[in-house]
Amino acid sequence: MDNMKICISASLGVLRAFVITLIVILIFAFVATKVHFSDGITNMIIMVSTLISIMYGSIYASKKSGRKGWLNGLLVGGLYIVIFYIVSIICGSSSKLEVRDFVRVVLAVLVGTLSGMLGINI
């Protein structure tokens, strides 16, 4: 029963994280139609929005389940980044993993885990 509650909380956290990411990306896309951004700025905005979304989703999942914040955060960060890469591949990105992709995975899991611990304690 306890594991089921953690899985449900993590799933809801991932869903909320994707909603936040979608909102930020849509706002950025609208602004990008008016202003030209370099690829570096675009990548940075995507990375920051991803990490903030994972942070929010992990805190939400931890508060919702009420226990094992690190596990909730780990699940949210891990599931989010796996789904993110699957969607990216479906949308035409290269399936070849590079060093920056491994850095993104580590950051996602680390931010998720730490945010999950934070969510339990606030």
* pLDDT in 10s for each residue of the chain, 122 residues: 678 888 899 999 999 999 999 999 999 999 999 998 888 888 899 899 999 999 999 999 999 888 888 899 999 999 999 998 898 889 877 777 788 889 989 999 999 999 999 998 88
Cα separation, 101 vs 41, in Å, equals 17
According to the model, what pLDDT value does residue 1 have? 60
CB atoms within 10 A of CB 5: 15
Locate 21 and state its tokens: 């990411």
Q: Which two tokens stand for residue 38?
A: 């370099």
Our count of domains for the chain comes to: 1
| Range of the structural domain that residue 77 is part of | 2-121
